[in-house]
Structure 1
Amino acid sequence: MPLPPRVADLGPYDLLLSVAERGSMGRAAAAHGVSQAAVSARVRSLEAALGVTLLERSPRGTTLTPAGALVAGWARSAVDAAEALEAGIASLRAEQSSRLRVAASLTVAEYLLPRWLVALRTRNPGTAVSLSSQNSTDVAADVLADRADVGFVEAPTVPDELDAQVVARDQLTVVVSPDHPWARRRHGIDAARLATTPLVAREHGSGTRSHLERAIGSLAEPVLELASTTAIKNAAAGGVAPAVLSSLAVAPDLAAGTLVAVPVRGVALHRALSAVWHRGRPLTGPSEDLVRIATGSG
């Protein structure tokens, strides 16, 4: 849907955060490479658009009003998300000669990698990153073929020629539309029921499908096979069939009530997300930094 006019442009909110952090418009202007008058004008325009006073100006500096503190707190996550979006887009636009080539599964690329790239850019601002996003099987193939320096996969196993390190944990979640009969089951379903129910599923080779098949043992022929997480969520929400997706992917939909999580008895749907690289070639430089950031140790 179209963004509301008052939040369509994040630039003034970014300036507001800089003024709050630095205590003056002059220092905020210097940090952004613009004039103090330009900062003042944009903040005043924001105040006019919102209908509230955001800053208290005095000879000793500039501070947030109570309303300004609330707006700044709400804006922080949006500005951080915009920075993560920019980092992800920059990696997609990078030339093939980039110093760090990253391949990532769809779940990792969409929900985890952007903030890792922001942290990497802070640590190594001169590092150019190129990113390819595909299913876990293709990620492993890219690393093996030297088309990627490091990969991130969801699959439960990786080829013997690759080294792997767990960088995060995830859980697969069964989701249905609010009108589906499973949505009214207080105690959910058992693993056998899940195994015999045709699902909306990812394609063969995806980490999500591989892990589910390994956990359940066998699955019914899917109603639909789709390569897009968004398409699968839309199909499940529309009542086509249940789906099994990463908890990272469905969290916003569960909060909004467009999907309902269904507990599953008798099977563990936890999984590890791993970094992979060519065996015998230790990680160095930016690739090592990225993996350390992903594990939370860097």
Structure 2
Amino acid sequence: MGAEDESVAVSLAHRVPDLGALELLLAVARLGSLGRAARARGISQPAASSRIRSMERQLGVALVERSPRGSRLTDAGALVTDWARRVVEAAEAFDAGAQALRGRRDSRLRVAASMTIAEYLLPGWLIALRAQRPGTAVSLLAGNSSAVAERLLGGAADLGFVEGLEVPAGLDGTVIGQDRLIVVAAPSHPWTRRRTELTAAELAATPLILRERGSGTRQVLDAALARHGGLAEPLLELASTTAVKAAVVSEAAPSVLSELAVGEELTARRLVEIPVRGLRLGRELRAVWPTGQRPAGPARDLLGLTRGAP
């Protein structure tokens, strides 16, 4: 908008009465009484009189003639009322369109989440959201953190959840919880019988079963072991946490997985946690969205349900 257009917009805002004043004028024309118009609009008669006088000063013409028998429009008032009716009708159409847009937005929610959050946290949040918004259809796209970012930036998702070290480029986010990666192995693996803790260097040098590059789990592990020689070539790289767990349980090799993902297997002793000396594998869980597009409607409600995640 140029400087001249901006000047016109500002002057119109000062010269044209607001919608409330125009609706009051229409009520006076319809009901033939300033008092009845005031009651119809839910305001006092003195307030209505003051508003009419203010509008007359703003426009520079008399709009309403008052008498003991009621109120009637002046000739100028009748003309302004015709214009006011068109303005109010346009505002009603604007409001109806805005409501339709909100309704369309609120009728669906597209969520993209990295695998651990999608499998172990989101189901509970989505059940709670359905209780709040039974009319909202929810779709969930599960993938690694890189895929979540791509879907958000491409407009294919309204809200995302990632587990990496930082907010991906082009996105804003907020921390919703904490998670911890742990080393796990099948009960028969030699590491389960060690008398001393595993070292970070030993872990780094061992071919493991791992999530693929681009996953939040892999990002955290790569960064943590970079100063210990970096990860050895993985024995297997798999695209889902479930597949990694199955391979570890089958005694193929150890892995590093989210504590959230292996609770059941640890309790049943299908997997064993292997302590590692001097290695911290904590990470933050984040909700993310495109920069400058704060979540609204059902996305905002889902974000509220994630507070206090593990």
Find out whether 1:285 has 2:294 as its counterpart: no
Distance 1:131 1:176, change over 3 A: same
SS at match of 1:258: coil
Compute the displacement of 1:99 (Å).
2.0
Alignment-derived partner of residue 253 in structure 1: 265
Q: With structure 1 as the length reference, what TM-score do the two structures score?
A: 0.65
1:106 to 104, 109, 115: 115
2:205 to 196, 200, 203: 196
SS at match of 2:304: helix
Distance 1:222 1:98, change over 3 A: farther
Residues 153, 275 of structure 1: 8 Å contact kept: yes
Alignment-derived partner of residue 245 in structure 2: 233
- CA distance in 2 between partners of 1:195 and 1:260 (Å): 19
Residues 130, 136 of structure 2: 8 Å contact kept: yes
Find out whether 1:155 has 2:170 as its counterpart: no
Residues 106, 297 of structure 2: 8 Å contact kept: no
Deviates more, 1:256-265 or 1:230-239: 230-239
State the one-letter code of the partner of 1:231: A
Find out whether 1:140 has 2:149 as its counterpart: yes
SS at match of 1:281: coil
- Aligned pairs, how many? 202
Compute the displacement of 1:184 (Å).
1.3
Compute the displacement of 1:235 (Å).
1.4
- CA distance in 2 between partners of 1:212 and 1:292 (Å): 29
1:276 to 288, 297, 301: 288
Runs of 4+ in 1 over 4 A off after TM superposition: none
SS at match of 2:299: helix
Bigger Rg over Cα: 2
Find out whether 1:178 has 2:187 as its counterpart: yes
Distance 1:292 1:97, change over 3 A: closer
State the one-letter code of the partner of 2:162: V
Alignment-derived partner of residue 67 in structure 1: none
* Pairwise CA RMSD: 1.7
Find out whether 1:242 has 2:242 as its counterpart: no
Find out whether 1:213 has 2:222 as its counterpart: yes
Q: With structure 2 as the length reference, what TM-score do the two structures score?
A: 0.63
Residues 114, 143 of structure 2: 8 Å contact kept: yes
SS at match of 2:306: helix
State the one-letter code of the partner of 2:269: G
User: Which ranges in structure 1 are unaligned for 5 or more consecutive residues?
Assistant: 1-95
- CA distance in 2 between partners of 1:159 and 1:225 (Å): 22
